[in-house]
Amino acid sequence: MKFHQFNVSDIDAQKRLLLIALWTPEDEPDNSPEVLELPHIKEYFENWGQEGDMGLFAVGANGEAIGIVQLRYKSCLTESYSEYPELAIAVAPAYHGQGIASALMRELLERIDVTVKGIRLGVHPKNTVAMALYKKFGFKVYDTGKNGFPQLVMKVNT
């Protein structure tokens, strides 16, 4: 698997994959691209390249970005662990079940800056596949956000 560290010029692929990261269950409508314009969603990509931003694409055989993992310091739904960067991860649906998300996580953890003490994220409570991935990598639920989504944390470099 090839990985590409992305930058501001990769914004279109970043946004395309972040829209996938905004997972919805089958009994709810998919998010439209307009959701990317909401202020709390724009925080994931707007002005990319700030200190602490780290993002990797998994690159398919045709050179297309087929998966994303990124860390960014941004607002937090809870006070706990708000000093940690937030993780976003997604794989294009055609590539699900091939271990790409696990490969992205392993690569991220190999490259993570030593100053990062932990990673946090929120996940849809019905996203059992994502929850299993996070558990596999040592994430623990520490709270439930106002939106009802479990908030998870994993300590690193401690």
- Does 39 map to a domain? yes
4 Cβ contact partners less than 8 Å away, ≥ 6 residues apart: 56, 57, 59, 65
**Does residue 151 fall inside a structural domain?**
no
Convert the pLDDT of each residue in 88-146 to its tens digit: 999 999 999 999 999 999 999 999 988 899 999 999 999 999 999 999 999 999 998 77
Cβ of 46: how many Cβ atoms within 10 Å?
13
Residue 79, domain CATH = 3.40.630.30
DSSP 120: E
* Residue 89 structural domain: 2-115
Residue 86 neighbours by CB distance under 10 Å: 21
Asked whether residue 140 is domain-assigned, the answer is no
**Rounded Cα distance, 67 and 62, in Å:** 13
Asked if the structure places residue 134 within a domain, the reply is: no
| 149, part of any domain | no
AA identity, residue 158: T
Rounded Cα–Cα distance for residues 41 and 44 (Å): 6
**Is position 96 within any domain?**
yes
pLDDT in tens, 63-78: 999 999 999 999 888 8
129 vs 110: CA distance, rounded Å = 23
Is 87 contained in some domain? yes
Is 10 or 157 the better-scoring residue by pLDDT? 10
- What's the structural domain count of the chain? 1
22 domain-assigned: yes
pTM for the model stands at 0.92
